[in-house]
Amino acid sequence: MNSKPSKSARKREFLALQELGEQLIALSDEQLGGIALDDRLREAVAAARAIKSHGALRRQKQYIGKLMRQVDPEPIREALRKIGGGQRQEKAVFRQAETWRDRIVNGDSADVEAFFEQIGERDDALERELRALGAAVSDKARKESTRRLFREIHRLLAAKAQGETSPPG
């Protein structure tokens, strides 16, 4: 019997590799830099990011798929899985920051203390934003202060999630 894969199976495999290449196009420069890629593949991905024409982009994606056939896709898949896990963590930290912001803005000092317990330290920048929120008189000032408060909460939670110590505030 013929051990060669069918034309349909080969096409599915090629399309899967092309889709993997398309995922590379969507990455940030920092994320892409963390993946070991062939120089030609890296250049093709960079070129695809600059293309605005739909047809040209489609052809560039096909070219990336062709280049993907010449490399081992498993290390790339693994790196993309790790990046995906990081994105899930970022989304979780964002949701957690939204929840804490709402608790702190609508709650009392006990919620602030609970947040400081959660992150394991007091933070001067966050306390400054809390004072600014309390001093806000107009709706516009209150909204701006709430946004800054959210940024501080998010920064602290992200630092905790990464196991870093937060910079002095």
| Domain assignment of residue 113, yes or no | yes
* Mean pLDDT, the chain, whole residue set: 86
Mean pLDDT value across residues 8-19: 90
Name the strand (E) or helix (H) holding 53. Answer: none
End-to-end Cα spacing for the chain: 71
pTM: 0.53
| Domain assignment of residue 2, yes or no | no
Mean pLDDT value across residues 142-168: 79
The CATH number for 39's domain is 1.10.60.30
- Quote the domain boundaries for residue 134: 85-162
Boundary residue ending a domain (71, 106, 124): 71
Within 26-138, where are the H helices?
Answer: 29-33, 39-50, 54-68, 73-106, 109-119, 124-135
The per-residue pLDDT for 43 is 94
Total number of residues shown for the chain: 169
3-state secondary structure of 28: coil
Are residues 89 and 20 both part of a single domain?
Answer: no
pLDDT range class, residue 83, cuts 50, 70, 90: confident
The per-residue pLDDT for 169 is 43
The per-residue pLDDT for 160 is 81
Measure CA 16 to chain center: 23
- pLDDT tens, residue by residue, 44-56: 999 999 988 889 9
| Domain assignment of residue 121, yes or no | yes
Residue pair 125/152 in contact (Cβ under 8 Å)? The answer is: yes
Are residues 89 and 67 both part of a single domain?
Answer: no
> Does 165 have pLDDT greater than 50?
no
pLDDT range class, residue 168, cuts 50, 70, 90: very low
Are residues 24 and 65 both part of a single domain?
Answer: yes
Domain count, the chain: 2
DSSP state of 138: S
